[in-house]
Amino acid sequence: MACDVIDDVDECKRFYRDQCLHGIAGDTVPTTAEQDACVSAIEDAGACAEDDPDGLVSACGPGRAGGGGAGGQGPEGPERSVCEFLAAPWDYQVCDFLNEPPPEGGTSG
């Protein structure tokens, strides 16, 4: 809501609930600790976004989405805002297990 990404929160929850029934696309199943770290980073980024939607991931604070806590490394280039993290958490090390595996014999993107 703070990032103006979602108009219908209930619809979003239904979509992700249904998608979670399909599992993770990769061959390697993330550990419970890895899953918990990703969820925590997303929740922390959401809390940071409520305080400052334009705030940087690194300024989110210890234990929050990348501010020396769970978020870890993001994509190369300029530092991203917490809203950018929330829009694509799979681009960050803490949640990269959400990425689909590359096609056989190739690379992704």
Give the model's pLDDT for residue 50.
Answer: 87
Phi, psi for residue 101 in degrees, rounded to 5 = -65, 150
How many domains is the chain built from? 1
Whole-prediction pTM: 0.68
Average confidence (pLDDT) per 10 residues, the chain, 109 residues: 69 68 70 89 88 86 46 60 87 83 59
Helix, strand, coil percent values for the chain (each to nearest 5): 45, 0, 50
Is 20 within a domain?
A: no
Give the model's pLDDT for residue 62.
Answer: 54
Is 23 within a domain?
A: no
Q: How far apart are CA 107 and CA 30, in angstroms?
A: 20
- Range of 79's domain? 31-98
3-state DSSP call for residue 81? strand
Give the model's pLDDT for residue 33.
Answer: 92
Give the model's pLDDT for residue 68.
Answer: 40
